[in-house]
Amino acid sequence: MKKKTPQEALQARINTLRVRKEMQEQEMSVSFQVILNGLNPSSLAKDAFHDLAEDRGVQASAASAALKFGSRFLVFKVIGRFGGVFGAVAAAVAGSLSDQYVDKTTPKMLDTVVNFFKKKKKPAEPQSEAEPRDPDNVHMHI
């Protein structure tokens, strides 16, 4: 095998360092993009809300507040249009009743909505009767 001259060895070393430099530049670019994305206010808010959205208590509170707001809005639009003292009192009573109903039914409604959007799992395949379920618990009938 031919021995490398000092110039060839130097050129090979320079090429190795160039390749190494390119790899380091790419790694730094990726790291910089990760840092920029991490400092982006929208991604910070998204990450914070993602953790909150998985909490079942927060889900129930948010759903309850939204349902109460919506029901009270409808009550005051429908009943409050009569005006006067009667309209105000009737709207307040109906709003209070709707709040109580929402408090009782929010967990059920939340479970229904969550179950609606979950992926349905395939049912497990039943075992055939030819295969014993428990090999230690096999009885012979004579």
- Indicate whether 100 belongs to any domain: yes
For the chain, how many structural domains are there in total?
2
Instruction: Give whole-number Cα distances, 4 to 11, 23, 57, in Å.
Output: 10, 26, 72
- Indicate whether 131 belongs to any domain: no
Domain limits for position 87: 56-109
- 120 pLDDT band, cuts 50/70/90, is low
What are 37-84's pLDDT values in tens digits? Answer: 777 777 777 777 777 777 777 777 877 888 888 888 888 788 777 777
Residue 130 DSSP one-character state: T
- Taking the whole predicted model, whether its pTM rises above 0.85 is answered as no
- Indicate whether 65 belongs to any domain: yes
Q: Are residues 67 and 96 in the same domain?
A: yes
The number of beta carbons lying within 10 Å of the beta carbon of residue 91 is: 19
- Indicate whether 24 belongs to any domain: yes
- Indicate whether 23 belongs to any domain: yes
- Indicate whether 50 belongs to any domain: yes
* Greater model confidence, 26 or 138: 26
Q: In this predicted structure, what is the pLDDT of residue 141?
A: 52
